Structure 1
């Protein structure tokens, strides 16, 4: 049958309306035609990189029946009354053939549900986004993105990439791995249940978007600051940093905050160190504008400092107002470590790197000085970073940091004695 003959079918207003409803259904319900049970069975935790292939003995189902039901539901939503059992399954099949003829659908089997194109992305952008999603799902252990990853991988099994390359080959990968359990379903499947805030992630994300004050409970304080128990906060953002997920939040009740409720202390805590407890204190929320302002302040502090320690409320206000005096730090690095330090041009926005005198044998500097100004709250975490380079790094200033590292070196010698 010619293309012209096929398209003539749709000169009838009812047929054209049906075709538009089909397209709208595929757009609104990507993957329609795939049963939820198939997605759940394929979302296994036995092998996070390779979801199980559908078993051949699994009960057969009519994918077009699911499409028909979704199409009729959509028609009802937008006020279109369709005759009973209309459109019929064979009619939908013919409509899908037309979409293939015009390359709205691809000329292939859609075993795991129908979808149109790649949405707002082209194929290369989709591959890059899928690689990033795979990394966060597998290595960073994001439970929500993990299920999305399984669903997309199932739908894209028949997807043809440019030049028939392997779409699922991970060209880019982030290997930073979470060191604690993050996914409640995975915990249950492995018998490693943890009563942490990860069990309340959906409510937590809702509170972030709506600016709701919540009550959470810290179960452990490894820094000896006695910050354990219930606390009321405005959650601002979930952050993945190095080896774990963290919650960036603003204290909802704070002795440093003025009475109008502004300028509360900002802080960051490991999600797994909070209990499985979340209570909404202000259902109405304070609005997204207040959330964005606090988030902006928090990231200004992060950009100024080193690591995740944001300091106390008084220091934060002085720092945000530009009234806090930063400490000048100077560290001397020696080869071969100095080569790696020099390579980090964007390690910190305020850093300066100065090369020492040249070694005439190698033609390279005999040392490298790393200079930076940091708020007092960041000295501890900066010290941890310097310590990783052992005897290839010497702190030259400020005096208190020199004394700290000198004493640390003596303590280490005693440990080996």
Structure 2
């Protein structure tokens, strides 16, 4: 005798569409239903926060956008709650509370990858002061409040006693390079420390980068004595964080010269000049040229247009640089195996007592534009570094040492 067919709860087309729309909503709007203020249990209207109502509204908006005409008030809250339970039954949702918004698993990342990515995001938000990343970081931190992080296991059988629960928010990896200027307009407002810089226009700059739009910005100060202040018309190429600050890599619209400058040295002004943009491929080609210059050089000074053109064509004569480093600094120089792609490290004779080289010679070829920044790097090692070539760099460091001796002598006399 044939068994009677059982009616599936989602056999009805409308019920099936509702379930698919619910899944689509969770996929496309991760965190839907979370509270903006986690301390605010009661809204201004006096009603308790209802994540299901927020989820329902988003579901209906998505349905309308993709062409599904749902009846007024549909789906009912109890129906939506049953659908969520069905997703739990199939392990699409976890069996836990979603007070901080609904989302599916960890999205495109597994747990271990999410942990590493979150640590990097935290560093950029807190220490590098990226305002947009900071907003995203705090939003994700809210959504992940209920997330139970366990290390990814290679074994097919996972034993809870061997792999206890861990604190997801513990910063296993951290980047402590810290911005020395205000970068977040919200932070400036909260602290009453307004700074009239390009950081107030950073969203517009990012949009122009992706669209390949020409923009007009204004440099407010120049600490290098070249008098390069006032309006600039540029193609912005990339925002770079390095060491203590954010920089803007850009290409001049007038002659194609590439340059890098501190973001905080531009004023609070940004005007889009070409809404249509020149396309992302043109942006990529310019970015590629800039990184060729960065790879050849030392630091962020990219030089003038004529020098750049010669260098990119392979016609520029580089300068052979040689610096001798003495212990204990020489050990740190040896350690930097990848400090520059074209470097060579040569060892001096061994010291009979320590068995280590008496010195190491650091050799490489640099474009002339990079000698100043290279000199600054050498100076940090004080009397443990001696420039051997080129002659003009030797004289520069010799004179700097004499000037320093005079300064200390004058200081002693004045005291």
2:181 pairs with 1:180: yes
Report the number of matched residues: 389
Say whether 1:107 aligns with 2:95. yes
- Does the 8 Å contact 1:32/1:113 carry over to 2? yes
Aligned residue runs from structure 1 range 302-317, under 5 A: 302-317=294-309
Q: Is the 8 A contact 1:6 1:98 kept in 2?
A: no
Which residue of 1 is the match for residue 344 of structure 2? 352
Contact 1:332-1:369 at 8 Å conserved across structures: yes
Deviation at 1:7, TM superposition (A): 9.0
Equivalent residue number for residue 329 of structure 1: 321
Q: Partner of 1:394: helix, strand, or coil? A: strand
Give the secondary-structure state (helix, strand or coil) at the position aligned to 1:131.
helix
Q: What is the distance in 2 between the residues matched to 1:164 and 1:119?
A: 20
Match of 1:395 among 382, 387, 402: 387
> Aligned partners of 1:55 and 1:205: how far apart in 2?
33
> In the TM superposition, what is the alpha-carbon distance from 1:413 to its structure 2 partner?
0.3
Residue of structure 2 in register with 1:319 after alignment = 311
2:156 aligns with none
Please list, as runs of the form range in 1=range in 2, the aligned pairs for 1:14-413 lying within 5 A after superposition. Answer: 14-35=14-35, 37-38=36-37, 54=39, 60-162=48-150, 163-254=164-255, 264-413=256-405
The range that moved more, 24-33 or 402-411, is: 24-33
Quick one: distance in 1 between partners of 2:59 and 2:257? 51
Aligned equivalents of 1:344 and 1:22: distance in 2? 53
**Aligned partners of 1:7 and 1:63: how far apart in 2?**
30
Separation in 1, partners of 2:167, 2:50:
29
Q: Where in structure 2 are there 5+ consecutive unaligned residues?
A: 151-163, 410-415
| Distance in structure 1 (CA, Å) of the matches to 2:51 and 2:277 | 42
Moved more, 241-250 or 284-293: 284-293
Contact kept, 8 Å, 2:342 with 2:364, in 1: the verdict is yes
Preserved CA contact (<8 Å) 2:42 2:49:
no
Q: Distance in 1 between matches of 2:199 and 2:271?
A: 14
Name segments (4+ residues, structure 1) moved above 2 Å: 5-8, 53-59
Shift in Å, 1:55: 5.2
Q: Distance in 2 between matches of 1:6 and 1:112?
A: 37
- Do the aligned residues in 1 keep the contact of 2:41 with 2:48 (CA within 8 Å)? no
Cα deviation, residue 8, structure 1: 2.4
How big is the shift at 1:110?
0.5
Distance 1:249 1:349 in 2: 24
Compute the displacement of 1:179 (Å): 0.4
For residue 261 of structure 1, what is the aligned residue in structure 2? none
- The structural deviation recorded for 1:6 is 11
CA distance in 1: counterparts of 2:253 and 2:402, whole angstroms: 43
How far off is 1:283 after superposition? 1.4
**TM-score for both structures, normalised by structure 1:** 0.91
CA distance in 2, matches of 1:249, 1:398: 31
Deviations 1:150-203 (A, max 9, x none): 000000000011141000000000000000000001000000001100000111
* 2-structure distance, mates of 1:187, 1:156: 27
- 393-402 or 53-62: which moved more? 53-62
- Deviation string for 1:320-373 (max 9, x for gaps)? 000000000000000000000000000000000011100111111110000010
- Kept in 2, the 8 Å contact 1:136–1:142? The answer is yes
Are residues 228 and 7 of structure 1, via their aligned partners in 2, closer, same or farther at CA, if it must alter by over 3 Å?
farther
